[in-house]
Amino acid sequence: MPHLIDGRDMVPPEPLEATLAALESLADGDEIVLLLYCQPHPLFAILRREGYAWREETRADGTREFRIRKA
Amino acid sequence: MHPNLSFEQAPPIDVPVRFLLTAPWFGIAAGLLVAWSGELAIASRWTPQALAIVHLLVVGFLLQAMSGALFQFVPVAAGGNVWRPRLVAGILHPALALAACLLVAGLYAVDSWLLRLAAGLFLAAISFQVLVIGSALMRTPARGPTIAALRLALAGLAATVALGATLAEGLGGGHAWPIVGLTNVHAAWGLGGWVLMLVIGVSYFVVPMFQLTPPYPGAFATWAPRVLVVSLGLWSLQLVAPGVRWPIALALLVAAAYAGTTLWLQARRRRNVSDATFLFFRGAMLSLLAAVAVCAASLLSDLPMLTWWLGVLALGGTFVSLVSGMAYKIVPFLNWLHLQREAGIGGVVPNMREMISDSAQKTHLRLHFASIGLLLAAGIEPAAAMAGGLVFALANGVFAWNLIGAARRYRTFRDRVRAVGASPGS
């Protein structure tokens, strides 16, 4: 079951803090689902450097859904 | 549509922070000069004391803070690649600070030689700034109202400095331009075309992101900067056709619409967080609405207190409040992000709220708005200027102390992160 982080009503950098905390315990094959209204470029930079991959989808209400897993 | 941040192009942390750390010292100087000058600061906008105080705030406090913010904002939010930011900041930061000191000294001492020296230094420094930041803004592939407002703001800065240098030359007897008309146009471009334009463009980005509000309405975001720049262009016609005053009404409408829209968005925020940034912004918007009303009244009346109130409300109540509120988001956020970069996943990075405590921010907030109240009262009872000036200086002292504390905490945590990274077995 994916770990869901709804960051839409969080103030930066709370969504990043929550995601980084979740990454620490992320097992191989598991996913983190992050919901935001913006593109978290600071997080992308960290994910790229630390060897994680992500997929992005935009929902009808403008919410961006990011699915993060180990690369 | 919500904004996007790109942190991969961010400059080194010392680039924006060196400007932000300098700004409050000009605020302290402005407050002390108000207290020292008393009635001479209030009596007329033409006294050397009033001119010196205004310029301590606009080319000292505001220009420093907004230049620092541009170095961060243009690459991160606008996707503009600023050429060698550390080198440029290393030249601009001391040049702007020195030019501000020379200008204030020249205005206070009514010394035309100092004024010309300051004008020359400003022309060189701002031309360099406009060239570097402007080329980054022109080359960015990003589009939208924020980019358009930033470009216009930079053009407004160039116009303000060119008009200011012409004024300095005129005060030295170098030409016969109408000084009053030139001053009105210079002030309008400075406050409207540069400061307000930049604030509007940055607000489109930071208000929804940090205050969790809906985005600014698209039509407003597109048209507000355009109407503002056209109104300032028409206002400038008084240089060739004295008496043309009505275009300023358009600029006032834009300012009121921006303040009203921001208050409306704040009322619809998704999370009820009333931190110092939110309260500084709300106070600034109420102050801007009051400044618009006072400016409109000053077009119909010659009461000297109106000019004083306009200065207090626009410079102190609105723009100093906005810069203070934003600094309390920018500085802790930058600290956190740069430390996170150093620490990586699993590294222990302090919470953003540990950089500057909420109570320290709110102490500054209370002192700041208390000083604005006292300074407004000084328009009726000039004796209040002493207390107002001292409290304004104290508020800026607390601001400086808070920012220095954040910089110290950043260094302490950075050294700790590096020590952990370098230790055997880590």
Cβ of A38 and B5 within 8 Å?
A: yes
pLDDT tens by residue, chain B, 426 residues = 344 555 556 789 999 999 999 999 999 999 999 999 999 999 999 999 999 999 999 999 999 999 999 999 898 878 788 999 999 999 999 999 999 999 999 999 999 999 999 999 999 999 999 999 999 999 988 888 999 999 999 999 999 999 999 999 887 776 777 888 999 999 999 999 999 999 999 999 899 989 999 999 999 999 999 999 999 999 999 888 877 778 999 999 999 999 999 999 999 999 888 899 999 999 999 999 999 999 999 988 988 899 999 999 999 999 999 999 999 999 998 999 889 888 877 777 888 888 999 999 999 999 999 999 999 999 999 999 999 999 999 999 999 999 999 999 999 999 988 887 776 654
- Residues of B whose CB is below 8 A from A17: 351
Indicate the pTM of the whole model. 0.92
pLDDT at residue B425, rounded to an integer: 52
Cβ of A46 and B210 within 8 Å?
A: no
Cβ of B210 and A9 within 8 Å?
A: no
| Nearest C-alpha neighbor of B403 from the set B308, B296, B331 | B331
Cβ of A45 and B1 within 8 Å?
A: no
Neighbours of B196 (CB within 10 A): 28
Per-residue pLDDT tens for A8-20? Answer: 989 888 898 899 8
Nearest to B333 among A13, A23, A45 (CB): A13
Could you tell me if A52 and A29 are in contact, meaning their C-beta atoms sit under 8 angstroms apart? no
Cβ of A8 and B270 within 8 Å?
A: yes
- The ipTM, to two decimals, is 0.80
- Residues of B whose CB is below 8 A from A16: 340
Could you tell me if B71 and B16 are in contact, meaning their C-beta atoms sit under 8 angstroms apart? yes
* Rounded CA Rg of chain B: 21
Per-residue pLDDT tens for A28-66? Answer: 999 999 999 877 877 887 888 889 999 999 998 889 999
Q: How many Å apart are CA B151 and CA B158, to the nearest integer?
A: 11
pLDDT at residue B2, rounded to an integer: 43
* Residue in chain A nearest B271 by alpha carbon: A9
Evaluate the CA torsion angle B154, B159, B162, B163 in order and state its sign: negative
Q: Which residues of B47-75 are buried (b: 16+ CB within 10 A; e: fewer)?
A: bbbbbbbbbbbbbbbbbbbbbbbbbbbbb
Cβ of B345 and A20 within 8 Å?
A: yes
- Residues of A whose CB is below 8 A from B273: 11
Give the gap in angstroms from C-alpha B281 to the nearest C-alpha of chain A.
16
- Residues of B whose CB is below 8 A from A8: 270
DSSP A40: B
Cβ of B341 and A45 within 8 Å?
A: yes
Give the gap in angstroms from C-alpha B9 to the nearest C-alpha of chain A.
10
Cβ of A13 and B273 within 8 Å?
A: no
Contacts within 8 Å (CB) and 24+ apart, B166-171: B168/B106, B168/B112, B168/B115, B168/B116, B168/B118, B168/B119, B169/B116, B169/B119, B171/B112, B171/B115
* Residue in chain A nearest B273 by alpha carbon: A11
Could you tell me if B117 and B106 are in contact, meaning their C-beta atoms sit under 8 angstroms apart? yes
| Interface residues on A facing B, Cβ-Cβ cutoff 8 A | 8-9, 11-13, 16-17, 20, 23-24, 37-42, 44-46, 49-50, 62
pLDDT at residue B1, rounded to an integer: 39
Nearest to A12 among B8, B209, B344 (CB): B209
Could you tell me if B42 and B379 are in contact, meaning their C-beta atoms sit under 8 angstroms apart? yes
* Residue in chain A nearest B213 by alpha carbon: A9
Cβ of B2 and A62 within 8 Å?
A: yes
Q: Hey, what are B401's tokens?
A: 């102390």
- Farthest-apart Cα atoms in chain B, separation: 77
* B141 and chain A in contact, CB less than 8 A: no
- Residues of A whose CB is below 8 A from B209: 12, 38
Could you tell me if B23 and B60 are in contact, meaning their C-beta atoms sit under 8 angstroms apart? yes
Neighbours of B280 (CB within 10 A): 25
Give the gap in angstroms from C-alpha B273 to the nearest C-alpha of chain A.
9
Q: How many Å apart are CA B239 and CA B93, to the nearest integer?
A: 33
Could you tell me if B116 and B42 are in contact, meaning their C-beta atoms sit under 8 angstroms apart? no
- Nearest 5 degrees, angle CA B392-CA B30-CA B169? 155
Give the gap in angstroms from C-alpha B212 to the nearest C-alpha of chain A.
7
Q: How many Å apart are CA B314 and CA B317, to the nearest integer?
A: 6
Cβ of B6 and A41 within 8 Å?
A: yes
* B2 and chain A in contact, CB less than 8 A: yes
What residues contact residue B118 under an 8 Å CB cut-off, 6+ apart? B99, B100, B102, B103, B106, B168
Q: How many Å apart are CA B183 and CA B348, to the nearest integer?
A: 54
